[in-house]
């Protein structure tokens, strides 16, 4: 009786939010014929491997949710990731493990978690680490059982005195959370436990990504001892017609400072962030809101758009991200996986697939309406050989080279100042989708104020380039800033996804300079507009603009003049990335 009334509740919940039964399946394609089992010796011609963005020596990676369970323990940063030891496509997933003392140089260790128990015999999928109050780390992760059901398991370090946490022991009680007729969970949509947090009653909470029909859900579980978990009557939060919520992340941010706070922090000066990774679109979107400690519910703030058209960590290629609280430096760090825009055939040929974004410090903007992200300061120690720009005034049609650096592996910071807004075109109210607007008005389309910005990974004759730029439009008495990353001419190779990405940037160009930072790393263009208020990451595969042939330009194609107030650019030294 209890069982059926319980399931009935969930049934009504799904009726309310959904319409009709859709078979629930994980969207993980297995290319069985492409998993040859041999550790590949990469070909020597590797123009797209990164110099300072983390990637394994070969094969497929997807990071922490694709980065799994990032954390700091005894002063060592731990990075676990979903890895296929047998090929450059998804499959045979184990938890690979690397550690670092500076988030820049990494040392690989043996796999931390791989299939061994019935509860994970068909795969060890994403999960998170929680540091318990006694300082002991524990990992909750999704296992795939013999029936291909998704269940939640736990692993603990074998030797707590080992700062590298080389050995992990799985609990004999696994699985700790599973789908039963009592809890009405669909076993093919039940994955990716978050870092747990302690409520005011001392009990632990964790959320698991799921869906009911096409409605995303963050299922809430509670536990007194971290081993026995009970599903709450209500999910922490849910979203209409979003599809499956993968890799949820739920954490507090301070409203009074940019320092990070522990996931279990409770207090007045906090807002909460719920991020979900949308399986259907491969976008990570987040809302900012309030968490009711008594009712265990999360409500996004008014105006915080709760769908794929809301705020995103990154408006380009950046998925299945996860944050952790860095207690050594009191900051919250975000890791995201940059997936490929090349074809599977190309990935097989190059022998690898997937890269990690540079870890980003993340905090609440002063407006309290969005987050701000910035690459961790440690990455700046790779800066060397500063480049130089010969002219700072950018009249219509200007293109000035930033010389003296290795343009295929660089870090560029530039600020623009507009003194005359006369040329700004009028913003049309129907322009709701910044990505669409950026592809319609790509870098080749002349405008009033803009396009102006950087041309990176450019070939000498501009047969190839990736343009990261701004356009400023007039909207009544204010201005709208559009930030674009245009990949349409990034490669002469037709076999790549060259989608152009875009975001509206919440900066008033009358009061503030417009800043742009771009991290260039062979096949990565990771850009931060407005001091990190909008981020866009792209994967590009130039055929001419590689290694020493790559060039970097500042350009202005608008009719209005733009001034460059500061420009600092450096070659980046290579890091030990694995
Ligand atoms: N991929 C993992 C899942 C997660 C998804 C498996 C994210 O745990 O939901 O490799 O893309």
Q: Cα of 66 to ligand 1 centre, how many Å?
A: 7
Which residues have C-beta within 8 Å of that of residue 408, sequence separation ≥ 6? 457, 520, 521, 522, 545, 546, 547, 548, 549, 550
pTM here?
Answer: 0.93
Q: What is the structure's pLDDT at 184? A: 79
Q: What is the structure's pLDDT at 36? A: 64
Question: Is the residue at 399 inside a domain?
Answer: yes
CB atoms within 10 A of CB 134: 6
Residue 247 CA: which ligand 1 atom is closest?
A: 9
Domain boundary (322, 349, 375) is at 375
Question: Is the residue at 117 inside a domain?
Answer: no
Question: Is the beta carbon of 144 within 6 A of some atom in ligand 1?
Answer: no
Question: Is the beta carbon of 128 within 6 A of some atom in ligand 1?
Answer: no
Give the DSSP letter of residue 368. Answer: S
Question: Is the residue at 25 inside a domain?
Answer: no
The best mutation among 82, 151, 248 to test binding of ligand 1, ranked by most ligand atoms within 8 Å of the C-beta, falls on 82
Domain boundary (375, 399, 434) is at 375
The best mutation among 148, 191, 207 to test binding of ligand 1, ranked by most ligand atoms within 8 Å of the C-beta, falls on 191
Q: Which two tokens stand for residue 492?
A: 């002469």
**Quick one: 201 and 145 in the same domain?**
yes
**Quick one: 416 and 493 in the same domain?**
yes
Q: Cα of 211 to ligand 1 centre, how many Å?
A: 14
Residue 337 CA: which ligand 1 atom is closest?
A: 11
DSSP 139-185: EEEEEE-TT--EEEEEEEES-TT-TT---EEE-TT--SB---TTTT-
Q: Cα of 320 to ligand 1 centre, how many Å?
A: 8
Domain boundary (375, 401, 434) is at 375
In angstroms, the first-to-last Cα distance of the chain is 55
The best mutation among 25, 122, 216, 320 to test binding of ligand 1, ranked by most ligand atoms within 8 Å of the C-beta, falls on 320
Question: Is the beta carbon of 82 within 6 A of some atom in ligand 1?
Answer: yes
Q: Which CATH number goes with the domain that contains 481?
A: 2.60.120.560
Question: Is the beta carbon of 253 within 6 A of some atom in ligand 1?
Answer: no
Question: Is the residue at 157 inside a domain?
Answer: yes
**Quick one: 315 and 176 in the same domain?**
yes
15: left (phi over 0), alpha (psi -120 to 50) or beta: alpha
Q: Cα of 122 to ligand 1 centre, how many Å?
A: 13
From first to last of its 578 residues, the chain has per-residue pLDDT tens of: 334 445 545 544 444 443 333 232 345 776 776 666 555 557 778 999 999 999 988 898 886 554 566 789 999 999 999 999 999 999 999 999 999 999 999 999 999 999 999 999 999 999 999 999 999 999 999 999 999 999 999 999 999 999 999 999 999 999 999 988 777 789 999 999 999 999 999 999 999 999 999 999 999 999 999 999 999 999 999 999 999 999 999 999 999 999 999 999 998 999 999 999 999 999 999 999 999 999 999 999 999 999 999 999 999 999 999 999 999 999 999 999 999 999 999 999 999 999 999 999 999 999 999 999 999 999 999 999 998 887 778 888 899 999 999 999 999 999 999 999 999 999 999 999 999 999 999 999 999 999 999 999 999 999 999 999 999 999 999 999 999 999 999 999 998 999 999 999 999 999 999 999 999 999 999 999 999 999 999 999 999 999 999 999 999 999 999 999 999 999 999 999 98
Q: What is the structure's pLDDT at 27? A: 56
**Quick one: 158 and 296 in the same domain?**
yes
**Quick one: 317 and 389 in the same domain?**
no
**Quick one: 428 and 457 in the same domain?**
yes
Q: Cα of 127 to ligand 1 centre, how many Å?
A: 9
**Quick one: 517 and 551 in the same domain?**
yes
Question: Is the residue at 60 inside a domain?
Answer: no
**Quick one: 366 and 464 in the same domain?**
no
Reduce the DSSP state of residue 120 to 3 states and report it: helix
Q: What is the structure's pLDDT at 388? A: 85
Question: Is the residue at 78 inside a domain?
Answer: no
Question: Is the residue at 43 inside a domain?
Answer: no
Do 187 and 25 contact (CB within 8 A), yes or no? no
The best mutation among 24, 27, 59, 62 to test binding of ligand 1, ranked by most ligand atoms within 8 Å of the C-beta, falls on 62
Q: Quote the CA–CA distance of 242 and 389 in Å, as a whole number.
A: 46
Do 7 and 181 contact (CB within 8 A), yes or no? yes
Residue 192 CA: which ligand 1 atom is closest?
A: 8
196: left (phi over 0), alpha (psi -120 to 50) or beta: beta
The best mutation among 25, 29, 66 to test binding of ligand 1, ranked by most ligand atoms within 8 Å of the C-beta, falls on 66
Q: Residue of the nearest CA to atom 11 in ligand 1? A: 320
Residue 26 CA: which ligand 1 atom is closest?
A: 9
**Quick one: 485 and 504 in the same domain?**
yes
Question: Is the residue at 84 inside a domain?
Answer: no
Beta strands 425-426; 466-475: pairing state? parallel
- Secondary structure of the chain: what % helix, strand, coil (to 5)? 10, 45, 50
Residue 142 CA: which ligand 1 atom is closest?
A: 8
Q: Which two tokens stand for residue 136?
A: 């002991």
Q: Residue 464 phi/psi, 5° resolution?
A: -130, 140
Distances (CA, A) of 66 to 356, 421, 496: 9, 44, 23
Question: Is the beta carbon of 92 within 6 A of some atom in ligand 1?
Answer: no
What is the domain extent for residue 411? 383-572
Q: Cα of 12 to ligand 1 centre, how many Å?
A: 28
**Quick one: 332 and 412 in the same domain?**
no
Q: What is the structure's pLDDT at 380? A: 98
**Quick one: 305 and 413 in the same domain?**
no
Question: Is the beta carbon of 65 within 6 A of some atom in ligand 1?
Answer: yes
Q: How many domains does the chain have?
A: 2
Question: Is the beta carbon of 192 within 6 A of some atom in ligand 1?
Answer: yes
Q: Which CATH number goes with the domain that contains 294?
A: 2.115.10.20
Question: Is the beta carbon of 62 within 6 A of some atom in ligand 1?
Answer: yes
Q: What is the structure's pLDDT at 1? A: 33
**Quick one: 295 and 391 in the same domain?**
no
Q: What is the structure's pLDDT at 506? A: 97
Q: What is the structure's pLDDT at 63? A: 62
Question: Is the beta carbon of 577 within 6 A of some atom in ligand 1?
Answer: no
Question: Is the beta carbon of 320 within 6 A of some atom in ligand 1?
Answer: yes
The best mutation among 246, 283, 321 to test binding of ligand 1, ranked by most ligand atoms within 8 Å of the C-beta, falls on 246
């Amino acid at each position: 009786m209890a069982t059926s009334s319980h399931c009935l509740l969930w049934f009504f919940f799904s009726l309310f939010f959904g319409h009709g039964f859709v078979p629930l399946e994980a969207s993980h394609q297995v290319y069985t014929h492409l998993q040859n089992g041999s550790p590949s010796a990469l070909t020597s011609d590797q123009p797209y491997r990164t110099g300072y963005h983390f990637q394994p020596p070969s094969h497929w990676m997807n990071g922490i949710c694709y980065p799994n369970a990032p954390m700091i323990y005894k002063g060592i940063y731990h990075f676990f990731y979903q890895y296929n030891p047998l090929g450059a496509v998804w499959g045979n997933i184990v938890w690979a493990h690397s550690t670092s003392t500076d988030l820049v140089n990494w040392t690989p260790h043996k796999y931390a978690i791989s299939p061994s128990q019935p509860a994970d015999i068909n795969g060890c999928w994403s999960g998170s680490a929680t540091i318990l109050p006694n300082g002991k780390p524990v990992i909750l992760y999704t296992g795939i059982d013999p029936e291909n059901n998704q269940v939640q398991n736990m692993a603990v370090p074998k030797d707590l005195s080992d700062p590298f946490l080389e050995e992990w022991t799985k609990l004999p009680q696994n699985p700790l959370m599973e789908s039963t007729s009592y809890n009405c969970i669909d076993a093919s949509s039940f994955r990716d436990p978050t870092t747990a947090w302690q409520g005011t009653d001392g009990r632990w909470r964790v959320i698991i990504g799921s869906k009911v029909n096409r409605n995303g859900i963050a299922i809430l579980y509670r536990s007194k001892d971290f081993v026995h978990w009970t599903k709450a009557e209500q999910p922490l939060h849910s979203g209409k017609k979003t599809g499956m919520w993968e890799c949820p992340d739920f954490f507090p941010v301070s409203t009074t400072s940019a320092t990070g706070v522990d996931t279990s922090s409770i207090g007045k000066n906090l807002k909460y962030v719920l991020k979900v990774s949308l399986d259907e679109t491969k976008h990570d979107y987040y809302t900012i809101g309030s968490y009711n400690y008594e009712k265990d519910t999360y409500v996004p703030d008014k105006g915080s758009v709760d769908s794929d058209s809301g705020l995103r960590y990154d408006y380009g290629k950046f998925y299945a991200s996860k944050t952790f609280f860095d207690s050594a430096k009191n900051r919250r760090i975000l890791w995201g996986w940059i997936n490929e825009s090349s074809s599977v055939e190309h990935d097989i040929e190059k022998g690898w697939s997937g890269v990690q974004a540079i870890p980003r410090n993340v905090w609440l903007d002063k407006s309290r309406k969005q987050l701000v992200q910035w690459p961790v300061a440690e990455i700046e120690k790779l800066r060397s050989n500063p480049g130089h720009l010969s002219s700072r005034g950018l009249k219509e049609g200007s293109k000035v080279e930033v010389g003296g650096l290795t343009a295929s592996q660089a870090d560029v910071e530039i600020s623009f100042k507009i003194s005359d807004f006369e040329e700004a075109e009028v913003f049309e109210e129907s322009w709701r989708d910044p990505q669409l607007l950026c592809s319609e008005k790509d870098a080749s389309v002349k405008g009033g104020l803009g396009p102006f910005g950087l041309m990176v990974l450019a070939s000498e004759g501009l047969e190839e380039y990736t343009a990261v730029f701004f356009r400023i439009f007039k909207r009544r008495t204010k201005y709208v800033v559009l930030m674009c990353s245009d990949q349409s001419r990034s490669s002469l190779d037709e076999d790549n996804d060259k989608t152009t990405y875009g975001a509206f940037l919440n900066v008033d160009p009358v009061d503030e300079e417009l800043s742009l930072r771009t991290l260039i790393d062979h096949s990565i263009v990771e850009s931060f507009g407005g001091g990190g208020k909008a981020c866009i990451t792209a994967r590009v595969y130039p055929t001419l603009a590689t290694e020493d042939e790559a060039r970097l330009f500042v350009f202005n194609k608008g009719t209005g003049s733009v001034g460059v107030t500061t420009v600092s650019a450096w070659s980046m030294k290579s890091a030990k990335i694995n």
